[in-house]
């Protein structure tokens, strides 16, 4: 089940909210959320609910044993982490490494055909952060299995993040409340995220796939390559940030407050800044649990960065193109640390922005094509007019037909919404007729967006989130 489906919007979510608010105690509300979260996860792959339950049981029992007086805490930590990583590695990476080994030795290696459990990377990382935080003593062990299960399985953030730290919501698992203002903020944030997904991401994806289809690369023009990856860059940003917006919005409705996961990354002026703004929960996870423990900026800086970015690439997918994509960003960030950042700080801002856009688009080429030879072909196409010239009729038609979508999407990448909200808040504080008109206009706009999303989703039966496969 996905957030951007009519089943979720008009049956699952309203029914969950109704039963949730009928219950008065936090314990009963937790029960409602657990039941609905398990139904939500089981909707597409029922068998993998048991894998998630087993993972929660492992980490719950393991941390309790780790906290017993006289226990060998470091040994328990290592054992729990190894089992977690083995589970993740078996389901996500065993096929990749078996295939690579088979190619290397020239023999087939029989492997069970295991489907990738949706969201396993997200909830496994939450479990890993929980276990490490318990070991470090930065949070208290959760003795209730049901509360730990709720932390992991809560449907707003279960299958595509953000990666939520246990300490951020530990108190809310015990006691929380929701007022009208939180509901209003949550609903607004959810509708904005839904609009980014249904109106922008899905349509940008249609254009990107039409241009970048691997079967048509021979006739791809340089303009087509650049335009295709511009639309893909917009698609993946709106797709993933939309999910985070909806997760944060639903969290607010339920009394939880999740941290932001995106902060307008495409306005960045360097690769380093881009990754401080993109998928923030993943970046902080690797910083706090891998980079700093290995020495951070104190020793072996570039080796630490190399390991972190190789793992970042591998986290995104079980294919070597993702590893190369991660290493690509490592090279950029290492060069910026060595000397380039000083140059970027000295040049006019628009040049630094242009640099980031270009290197970002180059990176998405590696991300998009699992076949490395396809990526190499596109890199060549970007700078070689060949016999087709710099553009082609199909690219021209797609650009003209989707020019408004492109302009709207580019504007939506800019921090215009916070500026509009700031103006609206000042008007609201003054009160009077103008404030009433502004409030009416805002709510009418939100209703219109919800209706528009409903219409667009009704005609689009397949719109999965890109990050579901990671």
Q: Which of 126, 119, 121, 140 has its CA nearest to residue 64?
A: 140
Mark 317-349 as b/e (b = at least 16 C-beta within 10 Å). Answer: bbbbbbbbbbbbbbebbbebeeebbeebeeeee
Q: Which of 316, 381, 388, 399 is catalytic?
A: 316
Respond yes or no: is residue 316 known to be catalytic: yes
d(CA 128, CA 285) in angstroms, rounded, equals 10
Mark 21-53 as b/e (b = at least 16 C-beta within 10 Å). Answer: eeeeebeebbbbbbebbbebbebeeeebbeebb
Residues with catalytic roles: 316
């Amino acid at each position: 089940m996905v957030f951007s489906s009519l089943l979720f919007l008009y049956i699952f979510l309203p029914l969950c909210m109704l039963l949730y608010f009928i219950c008065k105690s936090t314990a009963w509300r937790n029960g409602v959320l657990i039941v609905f979260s398990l139904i939500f996860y089981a909707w597409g792959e029922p068998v993998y609910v048991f894998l998630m339950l087993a993972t929660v049981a492992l980490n719950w029992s393991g941390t309790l044993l780790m906290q017993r007086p006289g226990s060998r805490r470091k040994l328990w930590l290592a054992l729990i982490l190894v089992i977690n990583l083995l589970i993740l590695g078996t389901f996500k990476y065993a096929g990749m490494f078996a295939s690579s080994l088979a190619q290397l030795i020239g023999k087939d290696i029989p492997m069970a055909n295991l489907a990738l459990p949706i969201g396993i990377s997200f909830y496994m990382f939450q479990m890993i952060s929980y276990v490490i935080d318990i070991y470090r003593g930065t949070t208290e062990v959760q003795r209730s299995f049901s509360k730990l299960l709720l932390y992991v399985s809560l449907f707003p953030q279960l299958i595509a993040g953000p990666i939520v730290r246990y300490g951020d919501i530990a108190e809310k698992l015990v006691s929380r409340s929701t007022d009208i203002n939180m509901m209003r903020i949550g609903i607004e944030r959810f509708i904005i995220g839904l609009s980014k997904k249904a109106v922008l991401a899905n349509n940008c994806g249609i254009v990107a796939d039409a241009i970048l289809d691997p079967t048509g690369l021979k006739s791809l023009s340089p303009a087509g390559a650049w335009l295709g990856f511009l639309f893909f860059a917009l698609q993946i940003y709106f797709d993933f940030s939309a999910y985070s917006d909806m997760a944060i919005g639903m969290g607010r409705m339920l009394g939880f407050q999740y941290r932001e996961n995106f902060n307008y990354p495409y306005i960045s002026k360097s690769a380093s800044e881009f990754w401080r703004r993109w998928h923030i929960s993943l970046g902080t996870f690797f910083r706090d649990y891998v980079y700093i423990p290995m020495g951070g900026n104190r020793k072996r800086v570039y080796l630490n960065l190399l390991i972190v970015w190789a793992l970042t690439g591998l986290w995104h997918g079980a294919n070597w193109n993702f590893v190369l994509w991660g290493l690509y960003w490592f090279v950029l960030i290492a060069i910026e640390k060595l000397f380039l950042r000083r140059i970027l700080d000295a040049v006019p801002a628009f040049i630094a922005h242009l640099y980031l856009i270009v290197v970002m688009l180059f990176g998405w080429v590696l991300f998009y094509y699992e076949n490395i030879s396809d990526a190499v072909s596109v890199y060549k196409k970007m700078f070689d007019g060949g016999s087709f010239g710099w553009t082609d009729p199909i690219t021209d038609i797609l650009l003209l037909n989707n020019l408004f979508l492109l302009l709207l999407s580019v504007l939506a990448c800019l921090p215009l919404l916070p500026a509009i909200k700031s103006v609206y808040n000042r008007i609201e504080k003054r009160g009077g007729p103008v404030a009433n008109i502004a409030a009416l206009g805002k709510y009418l706009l939100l209703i219109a967006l919800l209706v528009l999303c409903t219409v667009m989703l009704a005609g689009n039966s397949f719109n999965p989130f890109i990050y579901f496969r990671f």
